[in-house]
Amino acid sequence: MMQGQKSIFSLPGKSVFLVAGILLILAIFPAFHLSGYTLRLMSMIFMWIALASCWNVMSGYTGYIDFGPVVYFGIGAYSTALLMSRGGMPFFLSIVISGVVAVLFAIPVGLPTLRLRGAYFAIATFAFAEAMKQVALEWDRVVGVHFLEGSHGITLPIGPSHQFFYYTFLVIMTVLFLTSYLIERSRMGYALKAIHEAEDAAELSGVNTLKIKVSAYAISAFFTGIIGGVDAYWLTYITPNDVFSIHITIQMVIMCLLGGMGTLLGPVVGASFLTLVSEPLWAKFPYDYLIIIGVIIVVVIVAMPRGIVGTLMERKRRGGGT
Amino acid sequence: MEPNKRAILEGRSITKHFGALAALRGIDFSLYEGEILGLIGPNGSGKTTLFNVITGIYPPTKGSVFFEQRNISGLKPHKICQMGIAKTSQIVQPFTRMTVAENVLVGAMYGGRISQREAWEKTYEVLEFVHLDKLMNVSSGNISVPDRRRLELARALATSAKVILLDENMAGLTPNEIEEALNLLRVIRDQGITLMVVEHIMRAVMGISDRMIVFDYGEKIAEGTPGEIAENPRVIEAYLGEKYA
């Protein structure tokens, strides 16, 4: 038929089988009695793929650099911690509510900040994340209650086995991958990319740019909040400095940049690559591994300025002609 | 054009200030259904500003714009586009990392408020119409200037606009390409789309317009058929200076 059209179901059959096959292998993986370390490492990779994908949905596609996504991770972690330890709620209900709470913060934050362009949006989101960390730290002292427990942190009920988290993160990662895939092929995906390329032209072509940006920001916040909740249960003990840490933001951004912003596979490749490279380096060079990782990141970005996946796709496009 | 025809777009004493600068001063205009209205004037006379006020990029400081008898001043650009007014920009802004077809698709889906499936149909139709169908899978960053201008037009057409504002859509084209572009505009008009054209190439705009409006320093100084405009002393003065008038 017409060649330009990419419908939701037009992903080549081969890729569908490949993705399904990989997920199936991952699903039966724990049956092989792997060490706790391997399961934990795999769960970590799933979590970072999911987090990098969250960032990609908003910043990757629109080019609006969110420099405070950790705020929704922290909000999700605290919501789950409070719901489970204070409210006695079950885990799955708690993480879904945590995602909703994150959205309730994201919409009023997104509406004014997403009118800002370029570096101003990055600064605003960064400031919001830092401010929320301070709120979590100082709330009890200022208000005079015992609620968020400040820097003492909150302890959650003891969680189940590593396998439980392995599967939870595997499911979340899969859901995010599918969500990104559907967004990319949907009306919304085209609008997000149009905003990235020429926002004024998009608005003049009938795209309600503010609404689309806020929607993407809210979707991103929803999943980030859920992941924050799962991680809190996994860690069983959270403090503001841990779950609102700027390092989580930086990891999300770097993984996405390394893999390729605005590509479906970019966060998957970036997060896997960075985690798999840093683990053995950390084990061998516990004091210098960050320097080595820094060098690796610089080399990859210089050689592949659009990220691993982004640059490969571009080369294929150029090589394959029109 | 006979004044008893229905005005599809109307401006009533539109004034636009940027700080102390009055870019538009009390502009009244009517665009009649089915006509091609040429808008000319020296650089900085307010032509592009008027387009930006009509499409909602700037709200007018005073006055209002009526589209099909509805006051549209103050509405957001996407809303105005969905109602049926599209614009091509002087500086072409394709979505460069998307293909030619995807560029048009965005206009069809969002401006035309139709489903993705219907929008693809519309896209193929429009691309064929403007003769860009052969380039539809090429990245829009890799096409020539004339093709980019046609892409701008295609994106506007895809929104199913009733009125299209063309801001120097022929700048940078060769005489042959201009002739082609003019023919295309006539065909578009014959399909019932009303056009308002800002153009510096006088021969082009004179040849195609049913009526013309002339701006100078943010004011409307003349209005009439191309023949009347060419002989109007105020227009000659504005363009060539006092001693030629």
Chain B residues with CB under 8 Å of A4 CB are 99, 101-102, 105, 120, 123-124, 136-137
Q: Do A197 and B98 lie within an 8 Å CB cutoff? A: yes
Residue A229 maps to a domain: yes
Residues in chain B within 8 Å Cβ distance of A197: 93-98
**Chain B contact for A206, CB < 8 A?**
yes
Contact criterion met (CB below 8 Å) for B204 and B170: yes
Provide the β-strand partners of residue B64: B12
Q: What's the confidence (pLDDT) of residue A319?
A: 66
B93, B104, B114, B160, best to mutate vs chain A, most A CBs in 10 Å: B93
The distance from CA A10 to its chain's CA centroid, rounded to whole angstroms, is 26
Question: Domains of chain B, with CATH numbers?
Answer: 1-74+164-245 (3.40.50.300), 85-161 (no CATH)
Q: What is the ipTM for the molecules in this complex?
A: 0.91
B-chain residues within 8 Å CB-CB of A203? 76-78, 81
Closest CA to B66 of B58, B74, B76: B74
What is the chain A residue with the closest CA to B125? A2
CA-CA distances (angstroms) from residue A187 to A322, B48, B119, B159?
24, 30, 10, 15
pLDDT for residue B1: 47
**Predicted local confidence at residue A29, as pLDDT:** 84
A9 burial class (0-12, 13-18, 19+ CB within 10 angstroms)? exposed
**Contact between B112 and B119 (Cβ < 8 Å):** yes
DSSP state of A159: P
The answer to the question of residue A31 being in a domain is no
Q: How confident is the model at residue B242 (pLDDT cuts 50, 70, 90)?
A: low
Q: Is A190 on the interface with B (CB under 8 A)?
A: yes
Query: CA-nearest residue of chain A to B153?
Result: A205
Instruction: Say whether residue B59 is in contact with chain A using an 8 A CB cutoff.
Output: no
A123: its two tokens: 């600064």
- A40 reaches B (C-beta below 8 A): no
**8 Å CB contact between A234 and A36:** no
Q: Which residues of A touch B138 (CB under 8 A)?
A: 322
What is the DSSP annotation of B100-139? Answer: HHHHHHHIIIIITT--HHHHHHHHHHHHHHTT-GGGTTSB
Q: Report the 10 Å Cβ neighbour count for B157.
A: 26
Percentage of residues in chain B with pLDDT exceeding 90? 80
How many angstroms separate the CA of residue B77 from the nearest CA in chain A?
6
| A152 is a domain residue | yes
pLDDT tens for chain A, residues 1 to 322: 444 555 544 556 678 888 888 998 988 888 787 888 899 999 999 999 999 999 999 999 999 999 999 999 999 999 999 999 999 999 999 999 999 999 999 999 999 999 988 789 999 999 999 999 999 999 999 998 988 888 899 999 988 988 999 999 999 999 999 999 999 999 999 999 999 999 999 999 999 999 999 999 999 999 999 999 999 999 999 999 999 999 999 999 999 999 999 999 999 999 999 999 988 898 888 888 889 999 999 999 899 989 999 999 888 877 654 4
Q: For residue A15, what pLDDT is reported?
A: 81
Query: B99 in contact with A at a CB cutoff of 8 Å?
Result: yes
Print the domain residue range for A49.
40-319
- Is A123 inside any structural domain? yes
Tokens read off for B3: 């004044």
User: Touching check for A204 and chain B: CB below 8 Å?
Assistant: yes
For chain A, what is the total number of helices (H) and then of strands (E)? 15, 2
Cross-chain Cβ contact B94/A186 below 8 Å? no
Q: Which residues does chain B have within 8 Å of residue A184's beta carbon, measured at their own beta carbons?
A: none
B-chain residues near A206 (CB < 8 A)? 78, 81-82, 107, 109-113, 159
Total structural domains within chain A: 1
Q: What tens digit of pLDDT does each residue of B57-94 get?
A: 999 999 999 999 999 999 999 999 999 999 998 888 89
Q: How far is residue B197's CA from residue B175's CA, in Å, rounded to a whole number? A: 18
Instruction: Report pLDDT for B202.
Output: 86
State the pLDDT confidence band at B210, using cuts at 50, 70 and 90: very high
- CB distance from B55 to chain A under 8 Å? yes
d(CA A139, CA B194): 61
In angstroms, the Cα distances linking B141 to A47, B96, B104, B174 are: 36, 4, 14, 21
B217 touches chain A (CB under 8 A): no
Taking CB atoms and an 8 Å limit, are B77 and A191 in contact across chains?
Answer: no
Q: Cα(A89)–Cα(A50) distance, rounded to whole angstroms?
A: 24
Per-residue pLDDT tens over the stretch B182-207: 999 999 999 999 999 998 888 889 99
Sheet of strand B62-67, all strands in order from the earlier edge strand to the far edge: B21-32, B7-18, B62-67, B70-71
Residues of A in contact with B137 (CB under 8 A): 3-4, 322
Residues of A in contact with B105 (CB under 8 A): 4, 190
The answer for residues whose C-beta is within 8 angstroms of residue B134's C-beta and 6 or more apart is: none
Q: Which residues in chain B touch residue A194, judged by CB atoms under 8 angstroms apart?
A: 95, 98, 106
Alpha helices in B44-199 (DSSP H): 47-54, 77-83, 100-106, 116-129, 145-158, 175-190
Q: Which among B157-161, B227-231, B237-241 has the top mean pLDDT?
A: B157-161
Interface check A241 vs B, CB under 8 A: no
Q: Check residue A176 and give its pLDDT.
A: 96
Half-sphere exposure of A34 (CA within 13 A, CB side): 17
Nearest to B84 by CA among B61, B103, B65: B65
- Residue B98, min C-alpha distance to chain A (Å): 8
- Residue A32: predicted pLDDT: 82
Q: Residue B21, SS3?
A: strand
Alpha carbon of A303 to those of A168, A300, B219: distances in Å?
A: 35, 5, 55
Looking at the complex, does the CB of residue B95 fall below 8 Å from at least one CB of chain A? Answer: yes
The answer to whether B91 contacts chain A (CB < 8 Å) is no
pLDDT at res. A5: 59
Phi, psi of B181 (to 5 degrees): -60, -40
Q: Which of A63, A97, A70 is nearest to A82 (CA)?
A: A97
User: H-helix or E-strand containing B197?
Assistant: strand B194-198
Residue A287 lies in a domain: yes
Burial of residue A210 (CB within 10 Å: 0-12, 13-18, 19+) is middle
> Does a structural domain hold residue A82?
yes
Which residue among B97, B137, B142 sits closest to A197, beta carbon to beta carbon? B97
